[in-house]
Amino acid sequence: MWHILKYIARRGRVTEPAPEPLAGTHRPAHLIHDEILAILGRALAIRHVDAGSCNGCELEINALNNPYYNIEGLGIRFVASPRHADLLLVTGPVSRNMEVALRRTYDATPAPKLVVAVGDCGCNGGIFGESYASCGGVSNVIPVDVSVPGCPPSPAEILAGILAAVQARPPSEAVPADFAPGFN
């Protein structure tokens, strides 16, 4: 245990400021944290769905959990079930063999729900295109709010896309004015 604590203490914190939604500049974590709370009234829960990617995008989505990006610190977390999710983070192209599973996942997500398509393939099918086996981009199967191009997009770009989707959430679907975070 002593060894572990010493190791942690020597490395310190490496977390960096989060990016501006879909832009280059960085913003401090507490602003994003407050913003997510103002819009949602609680942490943003994300369900990732791989609908047929090459797994390159998954590597970069996983990287969002590393201490540099520290998305849990921003009030964003990945959840195990679509029923617990506010946002679906979908990588593609959507293979024909995953079409039904993706639709069911979308249907299982409670409204209002957001969808972010990740990667060139998620945007438009990318190099795999449309064929007997591929439906192409995610928007050919379910409605998409924000698309993040790149092959694969960097973790910062994916995070910027997630933040853009949260901000673009229509006010009518946002939290009721009398909503207070916590138990109610």
Partner 1 sequence: MDFFGLDCRFERLDAPVPIFGARVHAAQWSALALAVAEAKGRLVSLWGSDERGAGDGFAVSAAYATADGLLWAKLGLEAERPAYPDISRFFPAAIRMQRAARDLVGVEAEDAGDVRPWLRHGAWPADYFPLRLEHTGQERFEAQADAYPFVLVEGDGVHEIAVGPVHAGTIEPGHFRFSVVGEKVLRLEERLGYKHKGIERRFMGMDTDEGARLAGRVSGDSTVAYAWAYAMAAESLVGVKVPERAAWLRALMLERERVANHLGDLGALGNDAAFGFALAQFSRLREDWLRLNRECFGHRLMMDCVRPGGVARDVDAESCAKLRRQVTAIASEVAELKDIYDEHAGLQDRLVTTGRVTPELAARLGLTGLAGRASGQTADLRADFPWPPYDGLAVAARTHRNGDVAARVAMRFEECFESLRMIDALAAGLPGGAVHEPVLATRDGIGAGWVEGWRGEVFVALETDARGRIVRCHCHDPSWQNWPVLEHAIIGNIVPDFPLINKSFNLSYSGQDL
The residues binding partner 1 (CB under 8 A) are 3-4, 7-8, 11, 14, 48-63, 65-68, 78, 80-82, 93, 95-101, 105, 127-134, 151-152, 154
Comparing CB distances to partner 1, the nearer of 21 and 128 is: 128
Comparing CB distances to partner 1, the nearer of 80 and 111 is: 80
In the complex, least distance from residue 4 CB atom to partner 1, rounded to whole angstroms: 6
- Measured between alpha carbons, how far is 68 from 155 in angstroms, rounded to an integer? 10
Comparing CB distances to partner 1, the nearer of 40 and 48 is: 48
Cis status, amide bond into 112, omega within 30 of 0: yes
Please provide residue 148's backbone torsions phi and psi, each rounded to the nearest 5 degrees.
-115, 105
In the complex, least distance from residue 171 CB atom to partner 1, rounded to whole angstroms: 31
- Measured between alpha carbons, how far is 60 from 2 in angstroms, rounded to an integer? 32
In the complex, least distance from residue 148 CB atom to partner 1, rounded to whole angstroms: 15
In the complex, least distance from residue 181 CB atom to partner 1, rounded to whole angstroms: 26
Comparing CB distances to partner 1, the nearer of 39 and 161 is: 161
In the complex, least distance from residue 31 CB atom to partner 1, rounded to whole angstroms: 23
Q: What is the DSSP string of 46-80?
A: EEEEESS--SHHHHHHHHTTSTTT-HHHHTEEE-S
Q: What is the DSSP string of 109-162?
A: SPSS-EEEEEHHHHHH-GGG-SSSSB--SGGGTS--SEEE-SSSPPHHHHHHHH
Comparing CB distances to partner 1, the nearer of 21 and 93 is: 93
